[in-house]
Structure 1
């Protein structure tokens, strides 16, 4: 009997407070699945790198700007930010302990080992929606602000992984994001498809210079990054 070598192989499966999260290998690719929903894999990473670069390019020439990356995922955004010496603090918020473990000591370590060893990098195990909206840091202390927020926790504002994430893209959620930004800071939101209403939501929340940058994909609609700048 022949073995189907193209079938995905589950490397780890965890049950957490937000449901099931799975790491699997499909050929040479590593894939993350949450509650049966495909999130991302290691096939490309262009749009995740664009998320970081677009935010950096939209900033002024301030020295060593800080960046908050919402969602660790397969590590493309973190690795790209840490490889850029222009960034100062690089903070990643990730709510799934399993994903953090896969990067620290599992199959995803190859992608993020150098970034995690970088003294500028900090990983926070907490929920991004809670972290952005609360006026404090985990463990106490006043809320930190950032020069850029690069958010990639869903398949987009119109396609969230869990229902609670919807609040991040609401007027209250965008106001909380703006409060976490320094004057002139940039909010960048990754999406698997353009959102016809999200640019308007950014403008209504008081963001300026709202734009959408596209990355073509092999099939279907392009990945995009939605950008908005907090008024100085």
Structure 2
């Protein structure tokens, strides 16, 4: 078996160290011994964008916020399924993750960061949510889920105040989509308490329908687009 090779290291603000590893054509971003993301297990990240786009439909000039660049699977799927007049803002907290996207992970990202629809927000996704301009969709994949935080400050994305802020940042009929490695009944309840219409979708980690089951919540703000 091929050995893992360390390609880079970064420190998450308010969190721990992250390392970029490679084994043959496989890449992994780790936090200690915990795998944050792996290039072989990308289907649920792709489905995060696909499920969102299916609900946005043909809405003109849609604005989409993606929380977490990662290995770019959600971004590339979004570019493939959202309209050509859409705007996609990617909030990434760790500068090195963007550097890796243009360096050792360029084989995965391709030219996605150079697409004219894409804008990188270098910073916390919470600041992008509260930035003042509404979004038609907010896609969050910055933790292992509401109960699997990579840094304590991220709790503000999933608590009552954070969900209220996300709802306020959505256009009528817009939605918040949240990725998680596991279901969480308390978070489902919290979404409903935030006056969002909630769907809970189970998706597989692998594109062949195998692998672990992951959860995607879609919380839609009631109303019709302007």
Give TM-score, length-normalised by structure 1: 0.87
Give the equivalent residue in structure 2 for 1:146: 135
Tell me if 1:30 matches 2:21: no
Provide the rounded CA distance (Å) in 2 between the counterparts of 1:123 and 1:69. Answer: 10
Q: Which digits, 9 at most, give the CA deviation of each residue in 1:158-190, with x for residues without a partner?
A: 111111111210000001111111111011000
Give the equivalent residue in structure 1 for 2:36: 39
Tell me if 1:117 matches 2:114: yes
Q: Which digits, 9 at most, give the CA deviation of each residue in 1:15-68, with x for residues without a partner?
A: 353331210113321111235532101103211111111112223542232210
Give the equivalent residue in structure 1 for 2:98: 100
Provide the rounded CA distance (Å) in 2 between the counterparts of 1:131 and 1:36. Answer: 30
Provide the rounded CA distance (Å) in 2 between the counterparts of 1:17 and 1:194. Answer: 27
Q: Contact 2:146–2:180 at 8 Å: present in 1 too?
A: yes
Q: Secondary structure at the match of 2:19?
A: strand
Q: Contact 1:174–1:202 at 8 Å: present in 2 too?
A: yes
Q: Which digits, 9 at most, give the CA deviation of each residue in 1:39-98, with x for residues without a partner?
A: 101103211111111112223542232210000001000111112352600110000001
Give the equivalent residue in structure 2 for 1:211: 199
Closer, same or farther: CA 157–85 of 1 in aligned 2, 3 Å: closer
How many pairs does the alignment contain? 217
2:4 to 1, 8, 17: 8
Closer, same or farther: CA 7–226 of 1 in aligned 2, 3 Å: same
Give TM-score, length-normalised by structure 2: 0.89
Q: Contact 1:79–1:114 at 8 Å: present in 2 too?
A: no
Tell me if 1:228 matches 2:219: yes
Q: Which digits, 9 at most, give the CA deviation of each residue in 1:184-225, with x for residues without a partner?
A: 1011000011112211111000101x11111134455x1111
Provide the rounded CA distance (Å) in 2 between the counterparts of 1:77 and 1:17. Answer: 22
Provide the rounded CA distance (Å) in 1 between the counterparts of 2:63 and 2:146. Answer: 24
Q: Contact 2:58–2:83 at 8 Å: present in 1 too?
A: no
2:168 to 179, 195, 215: 179
Closer, same or farther: CA 36–131 of 1 in aligned 2, 3 Å: farther
